[in-house]
Structure 1
Amino acid sequence: MTERKPDFADLLMLESVDRDIFRGLCHDGAPMRAFGGQVAAQAQVAAGRTVEPDRRMHSLHGYFLRPGRTDAPIVYLVERIRDGRSFTTRRVSAVQDGETIFSMSASFQRPRDADETHQREAPDVPEPETLRRWWGPIDEAPEYRPFLLIDIRSTTGVPGRAATPPIAAAPGPADGMPRQNVWVRVDQVLPDDPLLHVCALTYLSDLTLASTANLPYMALPGRLDIVSLDHAMWFHRPFRADDWLLFAQDSPSADSGRGLSRGMFFTRDGLLVASAIQEVGLFRR
């Protein structure tokens, strides 16, 4: 029998334990360490399950407090901070073995029309069909196979790996900032659930954002461990995470063992749909 290809939605599936209490499992992002993007996305799912369906998540602010494990469930505890006429606020604590490993605040809004609208122009980059796919077969590390559900194509090389010329030398303003641009999408059709697409984008954002701060230091001797410290996202306009999105990233600062990365997601039509900022710890071994 052929093994069923997993659905991306399965990665965000949670069990309802009690009112405002949910439980899930995460796959590896590093050996025996839960992938932070999945933890954050599952926390979003937990928050969204306690909110009226006419509200759309527009922002999240999360802190990675301890590494999560992949061999034990994670319990998500939701606090109902506020239910207003236009905005709803939730706080989520992800707990494993009695300790909080991730804390997140999320805000939801009832959609409304507005006359005020502007956005940054999307960068001019090659189309995704002209670029090499990042993921190949993952035979040596089967625990990473969930990542095969994601299609990533870099306009400047393979994100987070050595390239010729170096990715850090990607064209851009001479302002000293490392940059990388990648096209990303979930490589299967997702259900028409706005919350699922928002959570999927958080998962996608954690795949390359941290490596942007590391680009100038890849040639230095020794091993550099990258640990996510916090993660924030803003969702500006509706989108689908199973359509191609251009993730334009840069890193304006690194100091004191911390690196800051930021990125913007654009549709193929140039519409800015979301923004992300992440600070990571850079630890040389």
Structure 2
Amino acid sequence: MKMNTDSVAEFLREVSLIQRLPSSSLSKIAELLQVEHYVKGEFVIHKGESKGVYFILQGEAEVFVNSDDDIRHEFILKRYDYFGIGVPTSEQQEDVAALSKLTCLVLPSEHCCLLQPKQKTFPPIETILHLDPIEADLFQGITLPSAPMNDMSSRMFGGQFLGHKDEKGFERQEVFMPSVPAPETLLSMEELRERRIIDPRLPKSYRNKVGAAKHVPWPIEIRFCDPSITTNQIKTPPRVRYWLRAKGKLTDDQTLHRCVVAYAIDLVLIGVIANPHRQRGLTMNTLTVNHTMWFHRDVKADDWILFVIESPFAFGARGLVYSQMFNQNRELVVSLVQEGLVRAASTPQTTIKAKY
């Protein structure tokens, strides 16, 4: 028996095992799942006899652990839980029986390879970003969970993420995308770096420093609309405009695209606060205090997005940045505000030694 593929896909998006996979895998899995029904007390699988991976759609199941002396009731599985051969925990070691009327979606064992993340084929940005999925309750289409982001090895930060279920409503846009050169006509960061190394208008010491520095390519491609020809110790206006996009082709998961945008904006954003205050010999320390983003429309992070940044205010070691992002259809897709600490780096105090 088959179910509507869209309904199955919507269910799978709530399963933690599936949330780590690209959307292309989710679609394939949704097409391959088979519906199985069980009555209360009926065994779903016996130890070592699973024919695939079972996702609980409705009802509850109970896991029994066989020992030498007896059979123990270990724990209960509910909607969105999964079990069977093919999940990342080797072979099936327990019996599972229906605790109530039970409906499972079964992925046959020959297709369980779809459950493995294909990280080797991910664009560079997807090897950096990873979002831990959490359970969230919906209230009139809005959910307010808290979720951490990892860099595949260690947790980086936690934040509050407000979600809104898609719905029809009023539409207007009073803010307009500025007139800027097309991204294809602008220089890449790598090309700008090469030009800086040979630009006679820049101090030789600075050019040598840029040339000697180890160049680590970013997973984000950036093209400045008004590239600066000064060093980072010269005052510049508190505004920047540039195009950005992720290198490589991303999956069509909108969550991933929004994570990429959130990651990309911190590469330049807070430094705009410091631009008017730069001077020769001055080193600044910057730190984000508060950061809020509003995603107005779906965003494609692997397509060019215009990032318009302006810092209207700085006082008492703190500064504010406003920013807007536009797609190539000139639609406003993201708005954001960031507050940051910007301080002159303290110089080590000279220790005065007593003379004896």
Q: Which TM bucket (shorter chain)? A: 0.5 to 0.7
Structure 2: unaligned runs, 5 residues or longer: 1-119, 195-210, 346-356
Structure of larger gyration radius: 2
The answer to whether residue 81 in structure 2 is matched with residue 11 in structure 1 is no
CA distance in 2, matches of 1:206, 1:160: 21
1:116 is matched with 171
Q: By how many angstroms is 1:50 displaced?
A: 2.7
Question: Is the Cα contact below 8 Å between 2:233 and 2:280 reproduced in 1?
Answer: no
Pick aligned residue for 1:179 from 216, 232, 239: 239
Question: Is the Cα contact below 8 Å between 1:151 and 1:185 reproduced in 2?
Answer: yes
CA distance in 1, matches of 2:268, 2:337: 12
Structure 1 vs Structure 2 CA RMSD: 3.0
Pick aligned residue for 1:150 from 195, 207, 220: 220
Q: Residue 120 of structure 1 aligns to a residue in which SS?
A: coil
Between the two proteins, the alignment pairs up a number of residues equal to 204
Question: Is the Cα contact below 8 Å between 1:226 and 1:281 reproduced in 2?
Answer: yes
CA distance in 1, matches of 2:128, 2:244: 17
Change in Cα spacing, 1:221 to 1:139, as seen in structure 2 (3 Å) is: closer
The answer to whether residue 278 in structure 2 is matched with residue 194 in structure 1 is no
Change in Cα spacing, 1:185 to 1:283, as seen in structure 2 (3 Å) is: same
Pick aligned residue for 1:125 from 180, 202, 205: 180
Q: Which amino acid aligns with 2:220?
A: I
2:270 is matched with 210
Q: Residue 313 of structure 2 aligns to a residue in which SS?
A: strand
User: What's the CA shift string for 1:77-102, capped at 9, x where partnerless?
Assistant: xxx5x43131111123679xxxx974
CA distance in 1, matches of 2:327, 2:263: 17
Q: Which amino acid aligns with 1:246?
A: L
* Higher relative contact order structure (alpha carbons within 8 Å, sequence separation ≥ 6): 1
Q: By how many angstroms is 1:162 displaced?
A: 4.0
Aligned-pair identity in percent equals: 26
1:21 is matched with none
Change in Cα spacing, 1:139 to 1:111, as seen in structure 2 (3 Å) is: farther
Q: Which amino acid aligns with 1:123?
A: P
TM-score (normalizing by structure 1): 0.63
Deviates more, 1:187-196 or 1:83-92: 83-92
CA distance in 1, matches of 2:263, 2:333: 15
Q: By how many angstroms is 1:187 displaced?
A: 1.6
Q: Residue 339 of structure 2 aligns to a residue in which SS?
A: strand
Q: Which amino acid aligns with 1:11?
A: I
Q: Which amino acid aligns with 2:326?
A: F
1:50 is matched with 134
Q: Residue 112 of structure 1 aligns to a residue in which SS?
A: coil
Q: By how many angstroms is 1:221 displaced?
A: 3.7
Q: Which amino acid aligns with 1:183?
A: W
Change in Cα spacing, 1:5 to 1:240, as seen in structure 2 (3 Å) is: closer
TM-score (normalizing by structure 2): 0.51
